[in-house]
């Protein structure tokens, strides 16, 4: 039903560049929350359409400071946790081996092996990462860093799981500006702040969550 190909990203010299894939969970009303589960409900690789199919190709994870602190306190322990699921142990090993690029003004030291604390802007750091050799780059959270990357037009793919809940509060995944005088029904293509994506995959999971993958429409 959906095309399986992806548009390559070409640099000025014509070489293929590394992609930025945004991985986020959200509710129907756009909050970056987990209303159904405290964490992804996967028990093995077959349950996971989001991370598992892409782990082998990713070697870098971008995180905001708050998300990094939570990840660093949780994921390194799961590979040796007898109570963890096979998926959690596998994800722990994956996250350990990846370089973690952390955007934080307050973080002064690494809390996890293979961590780089980014002091530049998202545009500067992405240019550095894309010019270096390596695999795929995952934008893992939280919502503020996701918003900054989207606003700077740095996200090549959005990989989302939309949970079937309206929670009415929380952290907005997408940033929008209120405009009480805005009366148009249509925001034209090319308008400031508008980004168009192509739907590449969509499927319902067993708990009613909707998995979707969008690719930036570079045309």
97 within some domain:
yes
Give the pLDDT score at 71: 95
In the chain, the number of structural domains is 1
Give the pLDDT score at 171: 84
Give the pLDDT score at 40: 58
CATH number at residue 27: 3.40.430.10
10 within some domain:
no
Give the pLDDT score at 43: 72
Q: CA torsion 145→29→53→197, rounded to 10°?
A: -70
105 within some domain:
yes
Q: What is the pTM of this model?
A: 0.86
Q: Taking the chain (219 residues) in consecutive chunks of 10 residues, what is each chunk's mean pLDDT?
A: 47 67 92 66 79 95 95 95 92 96 92 94 95 94 90 94 87 77 75 87 89 91
189 within some domain:
no
Give the pLDDT score at 39: 58
Contact predicate 20/149, CB 8 Å: yes
Give the pLDDT score at 218: 80
Burial 10-47 (b: 16+ CB within 10 A, else e): eeeeeeebbbbbbbbbbbeebbbbbeeeeebbbeeeee
Domain, as residue range, for 61: 20-174+194-207
Give the pLDDT score at 10: 46
């Amino acid at each position: 039903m959906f095309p399986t190909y992806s548009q390559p990203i070409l640099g000025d010299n014509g070489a293929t560049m590394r992609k930025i894939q945004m991985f986020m969970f959200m509710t129907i009303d756009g909050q970056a929350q987990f209303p159904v589960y405290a964490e992804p409900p996967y028990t093995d690789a077959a349950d996971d359409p989001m991370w598992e199919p892409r782990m082998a190709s990713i070697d870098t994870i971008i995180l905001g400071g708050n998300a990094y602190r939570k990840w660093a306190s949780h994921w390194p322990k799961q590979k040796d946790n007898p109570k963890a699921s096979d998926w959690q142990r596998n994800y722990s090993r994956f996250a350990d081996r990846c370089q973690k690029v952390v955007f934080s003004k307050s973080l002064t030291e690494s809390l996890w092996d293979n961590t780089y604390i980014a002091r530049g802007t998202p545009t500067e750091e992405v240019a550095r990462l894309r010019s270096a050799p390596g695999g795929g780059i995952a934008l893992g959270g939280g919502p503020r860093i996701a918003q900054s990357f989207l606003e700077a037009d740095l996200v090549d793919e959005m990989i989302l799981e939309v949970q079937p809940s309206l929670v009415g509060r929380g952290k907005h995944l997408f940033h929008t500006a209120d405009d009480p005088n805005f009366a148009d029904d249509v925001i034209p293509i090319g308008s400031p702040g508008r980004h168009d994506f192509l739907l590449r995959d969509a499927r319902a999971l067993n708990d009613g969550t909707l998995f979707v993958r969008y690719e930036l429409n570079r045309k």
